[in-house]
Structure 1
Amino acid sequence: MEKSRQQDRDIPGPQSPWSEIAPGLWMGGHYWTDASGALQQAVVGSEFDVVISLFTVDGHGPSYETEHVIGEIPDAPLTPAQIRTVQRLARTVKHAMDGGLTTLVRCHSGYNRSGLVVAQTLIDAGHAPGEAIELIRRRRSPWALNNDLFEAYLTTGLDIAALLSELEPPA
């Protein structure tokens, strides 16, 4: 499998496995950092009705009775198909929320990939892009959505970002 997470940043890990961003909408990762600074695994059992995984690790759940949707994407520039995956997953999350289901969107640490899907879900629900990004940073971590490209995708709009990413640079 190709590298899916940027390792070149000195960013502190999240202080909890997951955080509630909006009622019934949770954002998290597979790893978090406890108060002593030790890396901990975030293993999902049956705490949520739906889990959306943008990164996976064997043994990190969820339990068999939980709906689990996997749509792996990198924490890097996305192809048009990957941007469409983000849009599809955001619609899935919004549909689950509209049905009253508790939903966790997770990636490695619960900062960028999960932030992209959660922010798009909030935008689909009527939030302005900047408002969605600020809410995520306030509720999850100031380090959430630290991938500048993902923030640009959201502020530009994913439809336009997908079209622009299809363009080839001039030779």
Structure 2
Amino acid sequence: MRHVISVLVENEAGVLSRVVGLFSARGFNIETLTVAPVGDGETSRITLVTRGEDSIIEQILKQLNKLVPVIQVADLTEGAHVERELMLVKVATDRETRAEVLRIADIFRSRVVDATPTSFMIEVTGDSSKLDACLALLTPLGVTEMVRTGLVALSRGEKGMVSKSSH
């Protein structure tokens, strides 16, 4: 089963490698991984997506909670949450394809962030399936480069993760 896991950690050297090490030591692949400070400068949020049996993921979550720099761990898959991802895609264009690339960008509510006489760079945000669908339509037109951020996610509602400054 796919799991979206959010880990609030102290912002210090080596924390990411310790968190990732728990997954690799058990032979689990991390499909996407994003890390960024949460605003107070002392904590960061790690969002990762992995696949595995619920019972084994539960063990990993318990072990994550035992790591000293970890403040809080949540498997967002268990409740209502919002997921988003960002993709930048560069498409080679000519006179015949420019209008079609712009139509596709408009359909997916994305935007052109760079344009040259021979290419467009499109920014697409949304859930992973939206990005996949947009990429599938752009690829035959001449995608030359593409990069994705990986998933970010938050649980819905008032309840959230508690930052270090709240302890």
Higher Cα Rg: structure 1 or 2? 2
**TM-score normalized by the length of structure 1:** 0.25
Bigger fraction of residues in strand: 2
